[in-house]
Amino acid sequence: MQKNTEKEKDIILNVKRLKKHFPIHKGVFRHVAGYVKAVDGVDFFIKKGETLGLVGESGSGKTTLGRCIVRLYDPTEGVVEFHQNGGVKNLSNLKRREMNVIRRDIQMLYQDPNSSLDPRMRIGDIITEPLKIHRIGSPKQYKERAKELITMVGLKPHQLNMYPHQFSGGQRQRIGVARALSLSPELIICDEPVSALDVSVQAQVLNLLSDLQDEMKLTYLFIAHDLSVVEYISERVMVMYLGKLVEIASSEKIYKNPGHPYTEALLGAISKHEPGVFRRYILEGSIPDPSDPPPGCVFHTRCPYIKEICRNIVPALKEVKDGAGSFVACHRSDVLGLKGYN
């Protein structure tokens, strides 16, 4: 184990040059005909106790990135440093047994509470299953822990004997949260946890997540495709497009003063004052094929501000000189004066 440097003291996760390329198999002999570059060289860090939002259209690689962190997928390349108790471990090449120990500390919360909860299991068993898998505690302790967990997420102990179908969508996601909390993790990768819920219920689940974060000093990587959900919960936001991060900035900056044309386009698709009304420039076309990404800037095929350089040269994700720790990958960011939504 390496020691933390002073600068890394408040960092929990540091991801460097992360790639996940899925092979495409073709023909009778299933030879590899190419690769889907779902995550294609991503660098970022998460600070302890913060919520880092991750947004981008469907297919941009958000879920794959989350799954690489918890090693549900083995990354093709790159480093995922997890900082804990003053030390650092690279999760991307950790042996399975060691990784299983770390899995207690990094949990995943899924989008669809219907398919992630086993319909034949009682709630009490569902939420304490991780304890059993990791062989922590005794049956008596499972019962106690189940009561604690169900209360934490705003449900009642008598509901522990019920089955998932007896609950509403919002309640089922609360059960998903209880399960994710059962091992007292430090980091939770929330993969669109409210996307499948009615708008009226979304805020309740987001409130719950943010209360639990304060109480338990949790850190979240919060994935969403909707910028308005992320704004509500995140301190900083990352924007992903076709396997690459195109912008990282504080929530406030992203909304007031976006640095990347793709971020501006995502903001243009929502309106604070007229929900459902599309304003300004709306993204046309769809996300290109990630097995054959465009050369130069990956966004150039849909960008309204394109110049020759954008077709040929890949823009690096560079720190913006605003002293606020923002990063943008755009050749023309400085001259564009992009608009936020206010």
The residues of the shown chain that bind Mg ion, judged by CB under 5 A, are 62-63
Applying CB under 6 A, which part among 9-17, 56-64, 76-84, 149-157 lies near ligand ADP?
56-64
61 binds, among ligand ADP, Mg ion, none (CB under 5 to 8 A by kind): ligand ADP
Task: Name the residue among 298, 264, 316 with its Cα closest to residue 38.
Answer: 298
Give the C-alpha separation, 64 to 92, whole Å: 14
- Residue 239 near ligand ADP by CB under 6 A: no
In the complex, least distance from residue 261 CB atom to ligand ADP, rounded to whole angstroms: 19
Q: Does 60 bind ligand ADP (CB under 6 A)?
A: yes
Stretch that binds ligand ADP, among 57-65, 107-115, 266-274, 321-329 (CB under 6 A): 57-65
Nearest to 126 by CA among 135, 134, 117: 117
Residue located via tokens 């198999």: 25
Cα dihedral 5/6/11/17 (nearest 10):
-40
Nearer of residues 63 and 76 to ligand ADP, judged by Cβ? 63
Least Å from the CB of residue 283 to ligand ADP? 15
Of residues 54 and 160, the one with the C-beta less far from Mg ion: 54
Residue 76 as a binder of ligand ADP (CB under 6 A): the answer is: no
Q: Which of 36, 153, 180, 270 binds ligand ADP (CB under 6 A)?
A: 36
Angle at alpha carbon of residue 44, lines to 39 and 47, rounded to 5°: 135
Are 298 and 317 within 8 A, CB to CB? no
Give the count of alpha carbons within 13 A of 222, CB side only.
Answer: 29
CB of 190 to Mg ion, least distance (A): 11
15 contact choice in Mg ion, ligand ADP, none (CB below 5 to 8 Å, kind-dependent): none
144 in Cβ contact with 157 (< 8 Å): no
Please state, as a whole number, how many other Cβ atoms lie within 10 Å of the Cβ of residue 242: 23
Distance of alpha carbon 334 from alpha carbon 95, whole angstroms: 44
Q: Binding pattern to ligand ADP, positions 174-213, x when CB under 6 A?
A: ----------------------------------------
Listing from the earlier edge strand, what are the strands of the sheet with 31-47?
A: 2-3, 87-90, 77-84, 11-26, 31-47
Which range of residues in 11-19, 62-70, 130-138, 331-339 is near ligand ADP by CB under 6 A? 62-70
In 3D space, the residue among 229, 245, 107, 117 whose CA is nearest the CA of residue 174 turns out to be 117
Nearer to Mg ion, 62 or 236 (CB): 62
Please report how close the Cβ of residue 102 comes to Mg ion at its closest, in angstroms. 23
- Residue 10 three-state SS: coil
Q: Name the minimum Å distance from CB 63 to ligand ADP.
A: 3
Does the protein bind ligand ADP through residue 59 (CB under 6 A)?
A: yes
Handedness of CA 316, 320, 321, 325 (dihedral sign): negative
The residue count for binding ligand ADP (CB under 6 A) is 12
Sole window of 59-67, 75-83, 145-153, 277-285 interacting with ligand ADP (rule: CB under 6 A): 59-67
**Cβ nearer to ligand ADP, comparing 64 with 171:** 64
CA distance 265 to 110: 27
| CA dihedral of 36, 40, 45, 46, whole degrees rounded to 10 | -20
Task: Name the 3-class secondary structure at 53.
Answer: strand
Q: Which of Mg ion, ligand ADP, none sits in contact with 193, Cβ below 5 to 8 A by type?
A: none
Judged by beta carbon, residue 63 or residue 326, the one nearer Mg ion is 63
Owner of token pair 């564009």: 336
Q: Which is nearer to ligand ADP, 26 or 280 (CB)?
A: 26
Q: Which residues bind ligand ADP (CB under 6 A)?
A: 22, 36, 38, 56, 58-64, 290
